Amino acid sequence: MNKQQKNSKDDSNSINIDQKLIEEGTTQLSSEIQVLETWLRELDASDEADVEAVAARKSYNDMLRSRKEMLSTLAKQAKLQAVAAG
pTM for the whole structure: 0.75
Query: In this predicted structure, what is the pLDDT of residue 39?
Result: 94
Q: What tens digit of pLDDT does each residue of 34-86 get?
A: 999 999 999 988 877 889 989 999 999 999 999 999 999 999 988 887 777 76
* C-alpha pair distances (Å), 29 with each of 5, 6, 80, 86: 36, 34, 19, 26
Sequence length of the chain is 86
> What's the average model confidence in pLDDT over 1-20?
60
Domains of the chain by range and CATH? Answer: 9-85 (1.10.287)
